[in-house]
Amino acid sequence: MTFRAHTIAGVLAQTIPGGAALHEPEIGGAEKARVDECLRSGWVSTAGPFVERFEDALAQYTGANHAIACVNGTAALHACLLLAGTRPGDEVIIPSLTFVATANAVAYCGATPHFADSDEDTLGLDPAKLANHLEDIGHITKGNCFNRRSGNRIAAVVCMHAFGHAADLDRLAETCRHYKLPLIEDAAESLGSFYKGRHTGLDGVLSALSFNGNKIVTSGGGGAILTGGAELAEKARHLTTTAKKPHPWMFEHDQVGFNYRLPNINAALGLAQMERLEDFLTRKRRLAMRYKDAFAGVEGVRFFEEPEDRRSNYWLNVLLLERECAQHRDAALKAANEQGFMARPAWTPMHMLDMHKDCARMNLDTAEDIFARLINIPSSPALVS
Ligand SMILES: *Cc1c(COP(=O)(O)O)cnc(C)c1O
């Protein structure tokens, strides 16, 4: 079958008849019961037992030593960057191909993003290009890495597990160690995704999860910091709860902190969702395999499968158009959306946004190429039983 604008819409109509949103949350009786329990207790805000139970569930599932619940993933990422030592004037290396929150969190610290390219095999940071780039521009003085060209300190590297596919953590971590750069994982999309048997979010010094309504597990809005270090966890808890010194009645704060703690009512919802995560993962994988089969014989487009050594959550399913068909991307998106199948392109790469056009960067050909060819298709677990 040669590729035409209607090809994708046609395959979708056969695979998931009737149209579909991109990713809808599934809220059922278990969620309602938990939220009701929370409402009846009167503890609806940032104090209450569900927050800690949600944190325990996250730590237990991921294998992280510590999980600190936050109001959203962006706030969690902001806190991760501050805790890793990001200061005004610093640069932070992030993939250009990411959701805007990654770059925003850097800007909230008074730092600027420094854009790195992505790898077509993982859709995440390209470890080889990162190593080459740092060899070119990186300069270590007194235990800090500086950008030789701008003179700015590079505070950290943030990798992101795009659409639930783990980036090449081993090689990224190795490069970061070499250049004395803390690795932070933006694991907002990768709850339930594993890299060589380890849950994503465990290789970074600090990692951020998101429980926004479109993510695999939702708490309405919400996020969490994962970390292995007890001291960092303590600092994270302190920074995200207005930096109040523990005392039964005195209000004393020892730095400018943030009101970033997740409310109990959101944690109640999140806890009920965590109890259904395995079921969501099973059905999302089933849907992904159905897409894989459906697109197998279709010319001009390829279903993106989990890279080797990974187990992906298939948060948002990905199609990649062949290069010769890239010019049909927008027509294919239009046809799918007109038939009721929500499809969308990847995020516009950050370096192509006007506000970031002057930021430091390496060659970003692959990020631009992936952006030109990638299409996300409906991925709700409810699409399969
Ligand atoms: C969703 C998301 C975030 C931020 O999450 P919010 O909870 O919406 O603040 C950050 N990074 C990536 C890559 C995301 O997909």
Task: Kindly report, residue by residue over 73-110, the tens digit of the pLDDT.
Answer: 999 999 999 999 999 999 999 999 999 999 999 999 99
| β-strand partners of 344 | 376
Nearest to 210 by CA among 198, 200, 227, 222: 222
pLDDT band at 234 (very low <50, low <70, confident <90, very high): very high
| CA 210–ligand 1 middle distance (angstroms) | 6
- pLDDT tens digits for 165-179? 999 999 999 999 999
Q: Is the CB of 74 under 6 A from ligand 1?
A: yes
Give, in degrees to the nearest 5, the angle at Cα 131 between 89 and 193: 90
What type of residue is 380? S
Q: Is the CB of 212 under 6 A from ligand 1?
A: yes
Counts of helices then strands in the chain (DSSP H, E): 12, 16
pLDDT band at 48 (very low <50, low <70, confident <90, very high): confident
Can you tell me the mean pLDDT for 214-224?
97
Of all atoms in ligand 1, which is nearest to the CA of residue 77?
Answer: 10
Share of the chain above pLDDT 70, in %: 100
Q: Is the CB of 189 under 6 A from ligand 1?
A: yes
Can you tell me the mean pLDDT for 274-286?
98
What is the pairing mode between strands 183-186 and 206-210?
parallel
- Are the beta carbons of 103 and 79 closer than 8 angstroms? no
Residue 28 has pLDDT above 90, yes or no: yes
- pLDDT tens digits for 295-344? 999 999 999 999 889 999 999 999 999 999 999 999 999 999 999 999 99
Choose the residue to mutate in 160, 212, 216 for probing ligand 1, maximizing ligand atoms within 8 Å of C-beta.
212
Can you tell me the mean pLDDT for 177-183?
98
Nearest to 143 by CA among 182, 101, 174, 172: 182
| Direct distance between the N- and C-terminal alpha carbons of the chain, in angstroms, rounded to an integer | 29
What type of residue is 344? R
Q: Where are the beta strands (DSSP E) in 118-232?
A: 138-141, 144-147, 153-160, 183-186, 194-195, 198-199, 206-210, 223-227
Q: Is the CB of 118 under 6 A from ligand 1?
A: no
Which two structure tokens, joined as six digits, stand for 318?
């990905």
What type of residue is 309? D
Residue with tokens 């309602």: 32
- pLDDT tens digits for 235-255? 999 999 999 999 999 999 999
Choose the residue to mutate in 123, 159, 210 for probing ligand 1, maximizing ligand atoms within 8 Å of C-beta.
210
| CA 215–ligand 1 middle distance (angstroms) | 9
What type of residue is 112? T
Residue 113 has pLDDT above 80, yes or no: yes
DSSP conformation class of 27: -
Enclosing H/E stretch for 336:
helix 329-338
Can you tell me the mean pLDDT for 53-66?
98
Can you tell me the mean pLDDT for 36-56?
93
| CA 46–ligand 1 middle distance (angstroms) | 21
Q: How many Å apart are CA 381 and CA 286, to the nearest integer?
A: 9
| CA 75–ligand 1 middle distance (angstroms) | 9
Residue 136 has pLDDT above 80, yes or no: yes
Residue nearest (by alpha carbon) to ligand 1 atom 13 = 99
Res 1: pLDDT: 57
| CA 331–ligand 1 middle distance (angstroms) | 28
- pLDDT tens digits for 342-360? 999 999 999 999 999 999 9
Task: Name all domains of the chain by residue range, CATH numbers in brackets.
Answer: 7-26+277-383 (3.90.1150.10), 29-274 (3.40.640.10)
Q: Is the CB of 160 under 6 A from ligand 1?
A: yes
